């Protein structure tokens, strides 16, 4: 090629504005400059505004004592001595407990509804359809408020529903019995450890017996012997520790109404805000998960079901051994995104008075710099979301299919 352009604006004999690699580089550099400019502009603006208007900013509030109660706390919390940082941790634990419990229940409910949606039973599949369409299409905040007001209709504590003197239900929440370490930490945890070992041994027995049944064909009652082993060990440990310590390994804290102050003491007391959040998040997210499960099962080709039926598997066996394992690959990624949604949606808790991260954060802004508080809270939610993603990636990696 004789008329190849020569000059200062060529590289490798190509004009720079036509050089594919150089164009890529130029675009990269331009976008990087744009991003840096935007970020600098944003943060300098915020910094100017904070200075201009004397908005408090800084991190030394972290160590100060918070001095405000946190209504729900799974971790022990003393509002007169514990710090802001610790209060945020307590609130984060509340959010995590709500999110994990919510995700587990939502997956169970959602999977059942998703399978029911594909049921040949007309009534079952219609009911599932109505459920999905209702809960998907009403705003979550409205659903939460509805449950909140629904619970308010329940009688007040002074006229609480009382089931057998162990379970109390009223418009402030639920109180139920709870095992405690009332007879000392050593016997209590000792028994829990023994029972745990029993469950582990029982599971081992189950596996071994199951294997024996599979390998030799001899009837071995794997489930029965496994559960028997676990229960047996737990029972023996209970009696042994009782005999040695002179008291039962675990106590039981049973709730009881305190008529003088009109409240319920002892037991595990769950306030209505927590119930509203858990029920609301589970029902709402389950509707989305049901659709994901349905789509996942339907993504497995009809031929797979036919082949499984043709070799003699029964419908439940087809679902368990053929359809569902393949559907899982399709289900897991959007399912993880629903776990993230549930966790993030738990930040609606302030509307119903549950002391989650966001709610405690809002309260803190009255006595500490809001921007700092919410920076920390955002990082906390980000960490939780990344944790869910890690779980999902691990699962994806384990269930991958070779060769596709």
Alpha-carbon span 338 to 286, nearest angstrom: 9
Q: Is 397 in the site for another protein (CB under 8 A)?
A: no
In the complex, the smallest distance separating the C-beta of residue 298 from another protein, rounded to whole angstroms, is 16
Q: Is 120 in the site for another protein (CB under 8 A)?
A: no
Joined together, the tokens standing for residue 178 give: 């709870």
In the complex, the smallest distance separating the C-beta of residue 216 from another protein, rounded to whole angstroms, is 6
Which of 4, 216 has the CB closer to another protein? 216
Which of 248, 326 has the CB closer to another protein? 326
Which of 19, 329 has the CB closer to another protein? 329
Binding window for another protein (CB under 8 A); candidates: 2-10, 24-32, 279-287, 316-324 = 316-324
Residues 223-262: x where in contact with another protein by CB under 8 A, - otherwise, as a string: ----------------------------------------
Please give the residues from 317 up to 356 whose contact with another protein meets the rule CB under 8 A: 317, 321-322, 325-326, 329
Alpha-carbon span 343 to 96, nearest angstrom: 8
Binding window for another protein (CB under 8 A); candidates: 37-45, 102-110, 308-316, 333-341 = 308-316
# chain residues binding another protein, by CB under 8 A: 27
Q: Are 253 and 267 in contact (CB under 8 A)?
A: yes
One residue of 1, 3, 310, 397 binding another protein per CB under 8 A: 310
In the complex, the smallest distance separating the C-beta of residue 329 from another protein, rounded to whole angstroms, is 8
Q: Is 303 in the site for another protein (CB under 8 A)?
A: yes
In the complex, the smallest distance separating the C-beta of residue 212 from another protein, rounded to whole angstroms, is 9
Which of 209, 269 has the CB closer to another protein? 209
One residue of 225, 298, 304, 347 binding another protein per CB under 8 A: 304
Q: Is 7 in the site for another protein (CB under 8 A)?
A: no
One residue of 314, 375, 390, 393 binding another protein per CB under 8 A: 314
One residue of 32, 38, 311, 375 binding another protein per CB under 8 A: 311
Alpha-carbon span 22 to 26, nearest angstrom: 6
In the complex, the smallest distance separating the C-beta of residue 218 from another protein, rounded to whole angstroms, is 9
Which of 24, 321 has the CB closer to another protein? 321
Compute CA distances 11 → 18, 30, 91, whole Å. 10, 20, 59
Which of 298, 326 has the CB closer to another protein? 326
Please give the residues from 206 up to 225 whose contact with another protein meets the rule CB under 8 A: 214-217
One residue of 39, 307, 379, 383 binding another protein per CB under 8 A: 307
Give Cα 284 distance to the centre of its chain: 13
Which of 167, 309 has the CB closer to another protein? 309
Q: Which residues bind another protein (CB under 8 A)?
A: 214-217, 301, 303-304, 306-314, 317, 321-322, 325-326, 329, 399, 401-404
């Amino acid at each position: 090629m004789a008329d190849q352009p020569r000059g200062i604006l060529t590289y490798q004999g190509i004009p720079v504005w036509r050089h594919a690699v150089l164009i890529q580089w130029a675009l990269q550099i331009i976008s990087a400059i744009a991003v840096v400019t935007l970020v600098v502009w944003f943060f300098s603006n915020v910094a100017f505004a904070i200075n201009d208007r004397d908005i408090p900013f800084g991190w030394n509030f972290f160590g100060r004592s918070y001095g405000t109660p946190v209504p729900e706390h799974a971790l022990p919390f003393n509002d007169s001595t514990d710090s802001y940082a610790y209060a945020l941790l307590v609130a984060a634990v509340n959010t995590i407990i709500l999110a994990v419990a919510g995700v587990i229940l939502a997956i169970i409910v959602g999977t059942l509804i998703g399978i029911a949606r594909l049921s040949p039973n007309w009534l079952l599949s219609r009911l599932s359809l109505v459920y999905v369409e209702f809960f998907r299409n009403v705003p979550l905040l409205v659903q939460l408020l509805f449950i909140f007001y629904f619970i308010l209709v329940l009688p007040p504590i002074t006229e609480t529903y009382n089931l057998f003197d162990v379970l109390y239900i009223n418009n402030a929440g639920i109180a139920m019995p709870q095992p405690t370490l009332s007879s000392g930490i050593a016997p209590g945890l000792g028994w829990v450890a023994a029972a745990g070992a029993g469950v582990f041994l029982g599971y081992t027995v189950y596996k071994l017996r199951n294997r024996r049944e599979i390998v030799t064909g001899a009837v071995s009652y794997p489930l029965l012997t496994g559960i028997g082993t676990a229960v047996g060990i737990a029972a023996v440990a209970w009696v042994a520790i009782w005999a040695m310590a002179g008291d039962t390994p675990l106590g039981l804290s049973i709730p009881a109404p305190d008529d003088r102050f009109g409240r319920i003491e002892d037991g595990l007391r769950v306030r209505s805000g927590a119930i509203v959040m858990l029920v609301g998040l589970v029902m709402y997210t389950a509707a989305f998960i049901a659709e994901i499960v349905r789509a996942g099962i339907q993504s497995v080709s009809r031929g797979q079901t036919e082949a499984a039926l043709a070799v003699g598997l029964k419908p439940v066996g087809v679902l368990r051994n053929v359809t569902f394992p393949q559907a899982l690959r399709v289900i897991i990624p959007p399912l993880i995104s629903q776990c993230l949604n549930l966790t993030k949606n738990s930040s609606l808790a302030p509307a119903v008075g549950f002391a989650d991260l966001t709610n405690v954060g809002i309260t803190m802004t009255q006595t500490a710099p809001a921007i700092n508080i919410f920076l920390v809270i955002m990082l906390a939610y980000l960490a939780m979301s990344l944790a869910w993603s890690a779980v999902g990636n691990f699962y994806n990696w384990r269930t991958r299919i070779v060769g596709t």
